[in-house]
Each structure stands twice: as C-alpha cells, then as structure tokens.
Structure 1
Amino acid sequence: CRTPMLLVASLLWGALASPDTSQSCPVPRWVEHGQVEHLARYRCDPYYQLRSRGDGLYRCSQQHVWVNEAAGEVLPICEPVCGKPKNPARQVQRIIGGMMAAKNSFPWQGRLLSRHNHTAGATLISDQWLLTTGRNLYLGHSENSTLEEIAPTLRLFLGRETPAGAVERIVLHPEFPGAVDLALLKLKHKVPVGEAVMPICLAQQDYAKVGRVGFVSGWGWTVLLEHPKQLKYVLLPVADSGSCQAYYQAHSLQPLQNNHTFCVGMSELRESTCLGDAGSAFAIHDPEDDTWYAAGILSFDRSCLAARYGVYVRVLSVLDWIKETMAAH
C-alpha cells in the first residue's frame, strides 16, 4: 500500500514509514483459517486535532491502497486547536490601567504595526488568518491606497513578540467602511500552533448579552499615553445598546453603531481600552466546553477614559463572511 504523507502516529502490525525494523513489529504471521490486516491510524501533534469524515483508521484494501470506511482514500487533516490557552486569565484578577497578562493567557493576541509604526491589535482565528479592523490598515496610508500597496507595509507579531511573517492577502468586509469595520489578513505561511500561539474560536452563538463579562487584551495606550512593554488585559461588561447609542448621540465622538455591533462598558475600576487596542477580541470563556470564543472585535478604541463605551463588531453577524472568505482563499 502507499504510505500516507500525513503523520502516522501509530501503525498496528508494522511501521510502514520507517525502514528501521528494530524499532517496529515484524510483519504479522498468518493464522490457519484466519486473516490479518495492515491498519494505519492517524493522530495529530499536540495542539492540533483530527478533522475527517472517518475515525482516522485506514485499512490496506485489496487494491493495495489505504482506505477509511467513511472517508475512502481522502486523508484526514490536522487542524489547530482553538480557544484552549494553557494559562487562562481568571475573573478573580482584576488597555488604560488593566492587568499585565500572564504568559500564554491570550495566545491569539496579535500586534499589528502599520506604516510609521502605528500600533494596532489583531486576532488570530486560524494558523494562517487574523481579524482586525479595516481602519487599522489605513493607519499611515491615504484613503486612496490600495490593499496591494498596504499589505507589504504591515508587520505582525504573535506570542512573545514573534514575527508572524508577511501578509499575503487583505480582504475587507464588503460593507466597509459604511457598516462593518472589519478585515481579514492572510499570512503567506502558516504559523506553528502551541502554548504561545493559538487561535481563538469564533463564536457560534450570541455571547454579547447585556451584563456578560469578557476579556480584552491589547497593546493600546496606557494612562501615560504610551504603549505598554507587556501585553495587558481588562475585564469588561457588555452594555445596553440603547444607552450606548444615546450616550454617543450627545458626544463629540461618533463611533459606527448598527446591528453588526455591540457596546462594552468600563470595569468597576473605570478601566477601558484605548488607542491601539482596536482589532483585539472580546474573549468569552464558555464553561460548558471550557473554550474561549471571540464574541466581538474591538472597532472603536478611542474611549480611553474620555468616553464610557467601547464598540465591537459582532462576530456572529459576520461569521458566514469569515468562513466563506477563508474557504475561497
């Protein structure tokens, strides 16, 4: 049979991928009135999970090819695990004045540097795609700049400030800038997923309920109006949209608000997000499956201490566009 190219973690009755017979079982012997099969079972590396129509177990067919009962000859895929940080943030802990993030608490947090070193946030949602705001991309560029001109000027960092490599493609939401301030970034190469770098899962349900709290991490300005040297985070509550809209109607600042957005208030200590945090996720921990989900992407980060609410793009309302765009490119 052909040897599968995907990692064969264990082979029953022989290691077909290894010529070192001293480290593998011998070819199984036949038994009278019986049969013997060559079986190959696929398993993924840590921080990756198997995606397949079958169970990952392949048999050597009479045609001498490896076949799975449900998937046929189609090989499984090892895709990154999402939303499972090794050292998750805790609600008992308390970017203006937030807490310093512990190591690997927010492995999906990206730091985006645009032309002239403007700092912004980005959120890793797979091993090759990130979400950020559309407006972040034009920092240091004119409105007439093309996405092809902007892409080479972007620098992305993940984990402990590890370069993520070149941006291959930028896809703006079709309703940008009038209704949805969002963009997808595709990296030229996939990034290895592990403790320090891991995508966050995309919300499949509406977690943005009034009063529910979520975590926002980022590299935005502190009270000293400078970017922090370490990643910071803050715990914030979802706010009533009517109160938020009424507040900004009487305010000089006018963030984009509609059915695609929701508002988030300040913490009990009047902490908030600030310039440079846009593009970061409103991360919700779901205790039912012990997984972290991006319920929103911060769009309006100019609240700081001057305004009461931050405004986020609701992930659930753009989920289909995200999936379709990633599949198409």
Structure 2
Amino acid sequence: MTKCFYDFYHIAKCFSDWLTHIYHMAKCFSDWLTHIYHMAKCFSDWLTHIYHMAKCFSDWLTHIYHIAKCFSDWLTHIYHMAKCFSDWLAVLQFPAALLLVLCVGLAHASGLNPGHWSEPQPVPVCVPPARRGGEGRSKRAVGGRVALNVPWQALVHFGDSVLDGGIGGGALVSDRWVLTSGRNVFQKKPRQPAPKRLPDFPKVYLGVKNRNPVDPASEVEVEKVVLHPDFQNISTWENNLALIKLKKPVVFSSKILPIPLPRCGQNLEETVGTLGVLAGWGWSHVYQFADHLKFLTVPVVSQELCQREYKHGGEVDGDEPLVDDRTFCTGATAFSENVCVGDEGGALAVLDPKDGRVYAAGLLSYDKNCATEKYGVYAKLSAYMPWIDSVMRGDSELYDAQRALEVRKMLANLKED
C-alpha cells in the first residue's frame, strides 16, 4: 500500500512539473507575442512618421509648383507685354520705312544718289564707337515691322518649329510658280553637300499675313518641285534655289500678285547702298517664328566686305555661304535689325528709279546671321534667269537640241541660197 502511494506521488509530481513547464512555455510565448506587438507598433509608428514626412514633402513640392507656375505666368505676361510693345513700335515705324523707300526712289529718279557710299567705306552699322571697324559683332535685334500687304509673299511650311522642318519664305513669280530656296523644300534641312535626294512637298500659302493661326483656305496645292541642278555642289548654301509649280493657276487680286523678275540691265543689287524690302516670318526677339508677317528695309553692301565676313565660304566644315558673282549681300536696317531663321527664301524687292518698277533682285539664301553675323547673303536672280526661264517654260535638254537643230537647218538653207 505504501509503495502504491509512493508511486502515485511521483506521478503527481511529474504532472505538476509538466504543468509548470507548460506554464513557462506559455509565458515565454506570451512574452514573444508582446515583443512582436511592440515591434509591430514601432514599425507602424515609423510608417506613420514616413507618411507625415512624405506628406510634408508633397506639400512642399506643391508649394514650389505654385511658385514656379506664378513665375511662369509672370514671364508669359512680360513676354506678351514686350511683344505688344514691339508690334506697336513696328506699326509706328512702318510709315517711316515706307517714306524712306519712296524718298530713295524719288531721289534716284531726280538724279541724286542717296544711300550710296563710295568704296571702300562700308554701310554704317549701329555699334558702340569703340567697336567700329573692330572684329567684334554688333548685337543687332532680329525684328522687323508689321507688313501691311506683301502680295507676292508665299509661306512655305513644314512645321511650326525647326524640329518639324520649320517655315520659309517664297515669292510668287507667275500664276503657277513660286520661287524659294532649295533648303526650303526639304523637311530635314541638308546642312552640307550630301548624296542627291528628292525634295519634299511643303505646304504653300498665298495672300496670308498671319502665320499663327494661318487661314487653311489660303493653301495652294503643289504639283511638283524643281531643285536647282547644282544645289549644294560644294557648300551648304550654293545654288540655293528651287521652283514650286502649283496645280492650278492662282487668281490675282490686291492680296495675291506676282513680283517681276529682273530684266536685262536691271542690276541695282550691284550698287552699294541700294535699299531693298524683304518680308518674312523669321525669328523675332524671342527667337520664335513671328505670328505676323514683317518686313525689313536693308541696304546692299559691297562684295569685298561680305567676302571678308565669310572668308571661309565654300568650305563644308566652315558652313559659311560662298560669296561669288552669283550672290550679293545686305546689311542691317536703319533700326539695327537683320534677317534671321525662317526668312530664307524671301525675295528682296527693289524699286528701279528709272521707271518706278519693282522687281525681285535676289532671293535670301543665308538667313542664319541673326544677331551673330553681319550680312545676309542672296542668290542674284539675274544670274539664274536662264535656269528659271527654262524651268518655267518646261524646257529640257531635248528641247534645246531640237531648237538648235531647226536653226542649223535654216542657216544651212540660207547659205545654199
């Protein structure tokens, strides 16, 4: 009996030790859960702290955005104020510039020769006195005055930015033909002599003054583009000419008129100081294409001065225009303005004092001078009249050979008689 009681005691003690062990295990698990809870609470507090930091950063960024937007709106307001002021000045300057051109024409007709300086004195340019004759560049504005009506002006359009192909000028020279620069008929402008490729078909608008927005009804359909056969033979700007044929003849009006091309003996572009008028939508003071058509009154300068300015002309690496006997140059206006990007392809209109006839003396080929280079470079149209006439007549080498054959036959018959 005593042995049984002793065995029962040991069993009870083992069971008690087991329960104690279970209790300690449960307590350890409870402590572990408590530790996990505190860790989770710390992590939750850390996430809450991160959230508040992110929210503060977001509020700070929002504040910065609103400050930047206010500054941007302020700059836009300043830009529009400056643009309005520039256009207002341009409108005021238009009568003065028109009077200047008329006075020059009348003075020439009466035997005077205003605006003409004997060589080698250059056309004056508005620069500080300390820099006259120096090597530095005058920082001229690229502007112009609002044009009231330039009926021969054409807008040659690929896109509203230079990345999209940009815009250029052109001159209506008949009811079916627009004369422009060779580079204006390529969406991706060729910058140097490259393998010959076919020109693109730009959009052409006539009778427009506003580029932005442009009236879609003023677009004329293009039938074909004829590039000068010697375009970019050795330099970017060489023989920079193209003719655009329209699908249908345009109807002439006060807003759409062709400009005559030079006749034999008309060479005002060879007289230093001759004033010409060039219109276009080239870059303005803020280096964006102008919304409204503007014009410049620019003087012809001597070939020697222009050749010295572009002494590396014809060299591809120099990317400068070649100034030769088929080109001429103009300087800045009386208001220190000059041609700029987007004016290329525009015609320089001059007034012949002998008969009061206006004609296109040149086509702007190099318009990249802006406020960097001194002179704009033009293709002298009198030097290209044989090519222009042959294209507009629809001539070809076959036709030339046929005409020559017929004349030789007639001359041969004359000799026989």
Q: TM-score range by the shorter chain?
A: 0.5 to 0.7
Which one-letter code corresponds to 1:273 in the other structure? V
Which one-letter code corresponds to 1:159 in the other structure? G
* DSSP 3-state at the match of 2:297: strand
Q: Distance in 2 between matches of 1:91 and 1:245?
A: 31
Which runs of structure 2 are paired with 1:1-329 in the superposition (5 Å)?
A: 90-92=98-100, 96-102=142-148, 104=149, 106-114=150-158, 116=164, 118-140=166-188, 146-147=197-198, 150-151=200-201, 154-160=202-208, 161=214, 162-178=217-233, 179-204=238-263, 205-208=266-269, 209-249=271-311, 254-328=320-394
Q: Distance in 2 between matches of 1:323 and 1:310?
A: 25
Q: Distance in 2 between matches of 1:311 and 1:124?
A: 20
1:118–1:140 CA contact under 8 A, matched in 2: no
1:136–1:278 CA contact under 8 A, matched in 2: yes
The offset of 1:117, in angstroms, is: 5.0
> Higher strand proportion, which one?
1
2:206–2:220 CA contact under 8 A, matched in 1: no
Aligned length: 237
Q: Alpha carbon RMSD of aligned pairs, Å?
A: 2.4
Q: Write out per-residue CA displacement over residues 176-196 of structure 1, whole angstroms, 9 at most, x where no aligned residue.
A: 112411111101111111100
Q: Distance in 1 between matches of 2:219 and 2:177?
A: 11
1:120–1:279 CA contact under 8 A, matched in 2: yes
Q: Which moved more, 1:304-313 or 1:158-167?
A: 158-167
2:306–2:323 CA contact under 8 A, matched in 1: no
Given the superposition, is the C-alpha separation of residues 150 and 306 from structure 1 closer, same or farther in structure 2, using an over 3 Å criterion?
Answer: same
Q: Write out per-residue CA displacement over residues 123-156 of structure 1, whole angstroms, 9 at most, x where no aligned residue.
A: 1101110111111112326766843x612xx101
Which one-letter code corresponds to 1:198 in the other structure? L
Q: Distance in 2 between matches of 1:300 and 1:137?
A: 15
* DSSP 3-state at the match of 2:251: coil
1:282–1:294 CA contact under 8 A, matched in 2: yes
> Higher helix proportion, which one?
2
Which one-letter code corresponds to 1:314 in the other structure? K
Which one-letter code corresponds to 2:293 in the other structure? L
Q: Write out per-residue CA displacement over residues 202-225 of structure 1, whole angstroms, 9 at most, x where no aligned residue.
A: 011112021101000001100111
- Return the TM-score normalized by structure 1: 0.67
2:347–2:363 CA contact under 8 A, matched in 1: yes
1:141–1:150 CA contact under 8 A, matched in 2: no
Q: Distance in 1 between matches of 2:320 and 2:200?
A: 26
Larger Rg: 2
The offset of 1:323, in angstroms, is: 0.9
Which one-letter code corresponds to 2:254 in the other structure? E
* Structure 1 unaligned blocks of 5 or more: 1-86
* DSSP 3-state at the match of 1:321: helix
Which one-letter code corresponds to 1:123 in the other structure? A
2:171–2:347 CA contact under 8 A, matched in 1: yes
2:312–2:320 CA contact under 8 A, matched in 1: no
* DSSP 3-state at the match of 1:272: coil
Identical aligned residues as a percent:
35
Aligned to 1:79: none
1:164–1:191 CA contact under 8 A, matched in 2: no
1:120–1:277 CA contact under 8 A, matched in 2: yes
Q: Write out per-residue CA displacement over residues 261-295 of structure 1, whole angstroms, 9 at most, x where no aligned residue.
A: 00111112211110000000010012433321000
The offset of 1:227, in angstroms, is: 1.2
1:221–1:274 CA contact under 8 A, matched in 2: yes
Given the superposition, is the C-alpha separation of residues 213 and 137 from structure 1 closer, same or farther in structure 2, using an over 3 Å criterion?
Answer: same
Given the superposition, is the C-alpha separation of residues 261 and 91 from structure 1 closer, same or farther in structure 2, using an over 3 Å criterion?
Answer: farther
Q: Write out per-residue CA displacement over residues 228-257 of structure 1, whole angstroms, 9 at most, x where no aligned residue.
A: 111000100011111111112279651132
Q: Distance in 2 between matches of 1:141 and 1:298?
A: 16
- Return the TM-score normalized by structure 2: 0.53
